[in-house]
Amino acid sequence: MKKWKLQTTAILLGGGLALSTPASALAEIQNSTIAKTEQKEEEKEESEAEPESESESKPEEEKKEEESEPESKPEEEEKEEESEPESKPEEEEKEEESEPESKPEEEEKEEESEPESEPEEEPEKTHPSEARIQEIIQWIDALPEGSDENFDMIQERYDEIQKICEEIDYMPEEDQARITNLQKLMDLMEWINQQTETAWSGTCGSNARWELDRVDGNLIITGTGGIGSSSSDDEPFKGMFRFGRVEIKEGIRWIGQKAFYGTGMKSITFPSTLTDIYKDAFRDCKDLTYVTLPSGLRKIGSGAFYGCQSLTNVSFNSRLQEIGFSAFADCNLSMVTIPGNVKKIGYRAFMGNRLTNITIEDGVERIEDNAFQENPTLKSAVIPGSVSDFRPSMFARCYQLQKVVLNEGIQTISTRFAENEELAYIQIPETVTSIRDDAFRDCPNVTIYGVRGSYAETYANEHGIPFSAQKKELPAISKITNTCSGSHIYWKKFTGAKSYNLYRSTSKDGTYTKIATTAATNYTDTNVKSGTTYYYKIRANRSNGVSDASTAKGVVFVETPDITLRVNRSTGIGLGWNKISGATGYAVYRKSYSGSGAWKRVATITNASTLSWVDTSVKNNNGSQYRYTVRALAGSDRKTLSGCRNTGRTMVRIFTPTISKVTVGSGSMKVLWDRNTAVHGYEVRLMRGQSIDTYTVGGNQNVYQNLNGLQKGATYKVQVRSYKKVSGVGTFYSAWSAPQNVTVK
């Protein structure tokens, strides 16, 4: 019997892919099996008539062995006899012992004449899987005839059938031959494989196609437009419940309603082109564990991931605008961070999860009723000021909720924390002007934290709730840095702020003048003078008015120096820069020409009058390229820095060549020098009095120069230097060699 295996993915595809499943397919299998069984019985009868002739041709020793076989019972009979003696009477035991001697001569002769043919009454050797195999075959026989549901029903027992097939495949062929109706099971598998033979690819949208990998069962989707339908339950992958990973290629823009409803995917990769996920797209994908939403996604429809019970983590993108109702209900999320670009969180969006804490960034405008209902493990939550109305039953049945922080900007608390016995801390900002009367009913341990004199204090006193006064929140300037264009002021984002007013003064306690209004959280003051100290304050503009001013923060502004000199000297690279008003020193920074890595401070000049410096650490680095920048220092401690020219100034370290020989001729001379393989050429300078002539020697192979037409008897000075060109930057020279005096003959 030939070995056979069930195709691993053969039963993965269901009727939802419009497979060709004949109405009488199983009946045909049964009929063909009966015919094959009858044929086998005929062949068996023919074979039973042959043993006599075969036995006559065998040697006597083989005949004797065959004659003794009837006394040797199959192993199963022997085991049964060994396990039964204790329960049988002695008389029965004696009868069994005497049976071989009391056999009639006719039976012995029959056994001798048909040694190769076993009696049909004797039990065959069984395999541990045989009973299960027979049960599966009986179940197949009982399937209703003429229905496409047959295929779906077979799918339900896929794992069991596959395991049985694998066990059979590893059985010896002689054991396979003993299994009753094995051919029927093989015929069934062949039929299934035939039905799914072409079901490895298809369409899943007007311009989208799918392809199932035969080896690993992964689903690949390509094309443009959408998958399924955006307005109806198309369910293009209904029944394909066993593929593991899904990869959607670039070009797909949306995923339609119930596109993957109830499939058994374990992971999915989204394209950056995806903008919308529609209703119930991944509903009841119970094996899906993690989702990273693409950067371009704008909307998640209602119930999109409802019932994904293995989903423990989801990462939202920075462009998402809306999360539909019940979008992530009945999942298993433990933590969630909602970015500020999400304008709306739908009704029951995260109901029935295992959240322990939630973070909602400032910018979210609306959170619908019951959004986080039935999260029994939720302990803390922070709601931004951009959410104007704290909606009803937002945290219903969150029985372990202990701490809630409501940030500046929230105006109305419409929710109820009823029966949240663990709730001990709620921070209510002074922007709140309305709280529902029964908001904290049956919350015996709650304390309201707020600003003295706010509505929150009034509410607490009226309802007999403990109140803890907090220091009033103010905007805060985080840092001020000097740049090449001015002083750059940074401040922390203030909850509830729509914009900010920036004020400046030249003294800490002086008069402050408004210099800017901006919605950003930073500003560059360009109207500044080097050496002057400036102080800044910030106020936040909110819907309910302007906040108090922040604490003043000052800085000495100093301009950024520019490098004006870059030369090679015998001892290293020499730098020079312009003087900066108000500077108390300078700092020199260096990094490699490639620009990789951070700037490294290589020198600190504490004398404000010193405007040059030689980098001797590169003395021996012939041909190496660097970038330099200089910053001014301010203040007696020199901790205030000017801006930094981040591109820096390029410089190449080049060795000075040495003149090795000068040969003098009649009205001429020949100058020779040492070769430098790191340069692109040389220059020779000839001087006599005020007259200077320069000669260029291209390449570094020629290391000599003939000078002709010279005045006989005159004395000249000769020098040599090398150069290197940097593409897009310029040409860099070494220092001149020491001059040599040469008298022409």
Task: Report the percent of the chain where pLDDT is more than 90.
Answer: 50
Q: How far apart are CA 6 and CA 186, in angstroms?
A: 9
Identify the CA nearest to 605 among candidates 590, 586, 588. 586
pLDDT reported for residue 22: 34
**pLDDT value at position 574?**
97
- Per-residue DSSP letters for 413-457? E----TT-TT--EEE--TT--EE-TTTTTT-TT-EEEEETTSHHH
Q: Which of 572, 562, 554 lies closest to 484, judged by CA? A: 562
Check residue 242 and give its pLDDT: 64
What CA–CA distance (Å, rounded) separates 646 from 699? 33
Mean pLDDT of all residues in 687-710 = 92
Q: What is the pLDDT, as a whole number, of residue 190?
A: 64
- Nearest alpha carbon to residue 671 among 646, 642, 708: 708
Winning range, highest mean pLDDT, from 43-52, 302-311, 541-550: 302-311
**Residue 107: which pLDDT band, with cuts at 50, 70 and 90?**
very low
Q: How many helices (H) and strands (E) does the chain have?
A: 12, 48
As a whole number, mean pLDDT of residues 421-448 equals 90
Residue of higher predicted confidence among 482 and 63: 482
At residue 12, the pLDDT reads 40
Confidence of residue 209 (pLDDT cuts 50, 70, 90): very high
Cα 209 from chain centre: 25
- Report the SS3 class of residue 70: helix
pLDDT of residue 619: 93
Q: Containing H/E element for 267?
A: strand 267-269
**Window from 93-107, 166-180, 341-355, 512-526 with minimum mean pLDDT:** 93-107
Please name which of 470, 452, 472, 471 lies closest in space to residue 461, comparing C-alpha atoms.
452
CA 329, CA 520: separation in Å to the nearest integer?
36
Q: How confident is the model at residue 150 (pLDDT cuts 50, 70, 90)?
A: low
Q: Looking at residues 341-356, what average pLDDT do you find? A: 93
What pLDDT score was predicted for residue 68? 42
Q: Which two tokens stand for residue 406?
A: 């409501």
Identify the helix (H) or strand (E) that includes residue 518. Answer: strand 513-518
Res 236: pLDDT: 87
Distance of alpha carbon 406 from alpha carbon 384, whole angstroms: 6
Does residue 453 have a pLDDT over 70?
A: yes
Residue 70 predicted with pLDDT over 80: no
- The alpha-helical segments, DSSP class H, found in 257-402 are none
What pLDDT is recorded for position 151? 54
pLDDT digits (tens, 9 = 90+) for 675-688: 999 999 999 999 99
**Torsion angle, alpha carbons of 270, 273, 277, 281, to 10:** -40
Asked whether residue 11 carries a pLDDT value surpassing 70, the answer given is: no
pLDDT in tens, 591-643: 988 767 789 999 999 999 999 999 999 999 999 999 999 999 999 999 999 99
Between CA 180 and CA 134 the distance in angstroms is 7
* Contact criterion met (CB below 8 Å) for 721 and 683: yes
Q: How confident is the model at residue 215 (pLDDT cuts 50, 70, 90)?
A: low
Higher pLDDT, 254 or 359: 254
CA distance 367 to 350: 11
pLDDT at 678: 92
pLDDT value of residue 393: 80
Q: How confident is the model at residue 350 (pLDDT cuts 50, 70, 90)?
A: very high
Segment 534-558 mean pLDDT? 89
Kindly state the average pLDDT of the residues 713-734. 94
Mean pLDDT of the region 49-73: 43
Q: Which of 677, 681, 743, 675 is nearest to 714 (CA)?
A: 743
- Token pair recorded at residue 76: 């199963």
